[in-house]
A = this chain, B = another copy of it.
Amino acid sequence: MNVIVDLCLVPIGVGVSLSRYVAACEKVLAETDLNYSLHANGTNIEGDWDAVFAAIKQCHETVHGIGAPRIFTTIKCGTRTDKSQQMADKVQSVKEKL
């Protein structure tokens, strides 16, 4: 089962600047074969369900490991069985209707 995810991980208890922790997650994703793309409010990721959620778990473990005592994460997650769709298709499909 393929999934397209928007991951937004917020470390808590490490002060107000969070970019170091988001960068650590980007490095976790860079070690995978997943397709991903950072944006202003999260990171879009696509791939096999198990691989995507294994990466998300590793992000939590990594961010705890570099000092965050608490993490709050928001995940938006889409699956479909009617057709195969990639992240770029979703944006393209909207742009064609503009």
Contacts and interface: CB of A to CB of B under 8 A. Distances in A.
Interface residues of A, number: 57
A98 B41 contact: no
A69 B16 contact: yes
B64 A57 contact: no
A1 B57 CA distance: 9
15 contacts: A1-B60, A4-B40, A4-B41, A6-B41, A13-B15, A17-B93, A27-B98, A39-B91, A41-B78, A41-B87, A49-B60, A53-B53, A69-B81, A71-B80, A72-B76
A49 B53 CA distance: 10
Interface in A31-73: 37-42, 44, 46, 49-50, 53, 57, 60-61, 64, 69-73
Contact of A40 (B12, B44, B69): B44
